[in-house]
Each structure stands twice: as C-alpha cells, then as structure tokens.
Chain A
C-alpha cells in the first residue's frame, strides 16, 4: 500500500514526532508508515485521515498486490 504521509506532513511543517503525538503512536511507527514498512490498521488509517482532514483514499492507495 502506498501513502502520501510524508508529503502531507511536510506540507504542514510537522515533524514525525508532532504527527506521532497527534496519532498517539511512536515516532518509529510514523517513520515505518512513511517508508512503507508498515500498513496501518483501519482505526489508525481513519485517525490519520481525521488528523489531515482528508478522506482515506486521498492518503492511501492500493498497489494492487
């Protein structure tokens, strides 16, 4: 699964630690999400969508795998 988390975060001038605090996860989890090493659960994906005020499909896209 691909995502635009790094771009969205950078656009807002947030650090990984800022986003981690907003999501209630560790900075390492944010880093793993951004680098595609970890796909979030559905609840976390919804939380990310709420934080960025965008629909989930605008943040995540299916790679077709």
Chain B
C-alpha cells in the first residue's frame, strides 16, 4: 500500500459544499412547493410527488458524490444505490403522470417491470455492501418497521372507531416512503454518514 494524498477536505471546502447542497435543497423545495400549490393536488399525490422529487434528488446527488469521491461507497455499490433511488422516484411518478400518455394497463405493467429491476438491484446492493452499510440498511428497516406498525395500529384502531377518515393505499405508500427515508437518515447519522 502506498502513501496517498491526504483525504480530509479543508473546512472552507466543506462549508462551501454544505452551502451548495443547501441551495440545491432550497431551490428544489421551492420548485416543488410551487408545483403542488399551483395544481391543487390531493395530499396523497402531493406527498408522492415530494417523495419522488426527494428520491430522484438523492440519486442525482449520490451520482455527483460518487464521481467526486468514489471511496465513500463500497466498491460496486454506488451505481446500484443510484439505480435504486431513481427507480423508486420513477415508480412514484408513473401512476400520477404516465397515464396521460399510455393506457393504465401499460403503466401498471411498466411499474411491475421497474419494481422487478429495483428488487434485483436491492438484492445486489445488499450482497456487495460492506458490513457497516448492511448494518445501516438493517437498522433502517428495523426503525421503519417499528414506527410504521405502531402508527398503522393506532390509525387502524381510530378508523375502526370512526374517529378518522380512511386513507387510500396510495396515501399510505407515500407515508411509508417518508418514514423509510427519515429512518434511513437516522440510521446513517448514527454512523456518521451525512
């Protein structure tokens, strides 16, 4: 093993990087808010659109990170992570927008294909991940499962009692993805991954 360049970045570069990411987040959030407000969308569609934008943004930022600092992800995992994020974002957009161009049957068939590809990518990602990334994935699943099953039980009980309105499956899926994303951020932050 040979000596290489010092890998730590100067503080000013870190600050500028953080500011750039904050600017991207602010612009994306503002554009999303305008899009949702202007179209008077149902809350389930608004949430799904927000999740799609978040997933695609994470995928694009992951691609930029991988290009600039390839050692931050286990070898072979970077592209798979990006594929998983982008496909998840596409699958949230398709039910809302693709039916304007093709039939609902075709859209659903496309979603099934995308889901199959994403499942394979997820399995490959798990197999190629190093042990800490696997632990982060496992902890994310555990946190999300605990939060979602608790919330689902409380909601189901309240719905049975007639205290709350019924939420569509589409709305529940948006909530599930939001909880999963927050869980993944919490699990990653515990290991110092930002």
Whether A22 pairs with B1 at a CB distance below 8 angstroms is yes
A12 contact set on B, CB distance < 8 A: 1
A41 contact set on B, CB distance < 8 A: 131
Asked whether B181 is an interface residue with its Cβ less than 8 Å from the other chain, the reply is no
B25 contact set on A, CB distance < 8 A: none
| Given A14-B1, A31-B192: A25 and B6 interface contact (C-beta under 8 Å) | no
Q: Which of B4, B72, B75, B190 contacts A37 (CB 8 A)?
A: B190
Asked whether B103 is an interface residue with its Cβ less than 8 Å from the other chain, the reply is no
Q: Which of B6, B69, B132 contacts A32 (CB 8 A)?
A: B132
Interface size class of chain B, counting residues whose CB lies under 8 Å from the partner chain: 20 to 34
Which residues of B (57-75) have their CB < 8 Å from a CB of A? 69, 71-75
Asked whether A49 is an interface residue with its Cβ less than 8 Å from the other chain, the reply is no
| Given A40-B131, A44-B131: A27 and B7 interface contact (C-beta under 8 Å) | yes
Asked whether B191 is an interface residue with its Cβ less than 8 Å from the other chain, the reply is yes
Residues 14-55 of chain A: 1 if any B CB is under 8 Å from the residue's CB, otherwise 0? 111110111011111101100101101100100000000000
Asked whether A13 is an interface residue with its Cβ less than 8 Å from the other chain, the reply is yes
Whether B7 pairs with A28 at a CB distance below 8 angstroms is no
3 nearest interchain CB pairs?
Answer: A17-B71, A25-B130, A15-B7
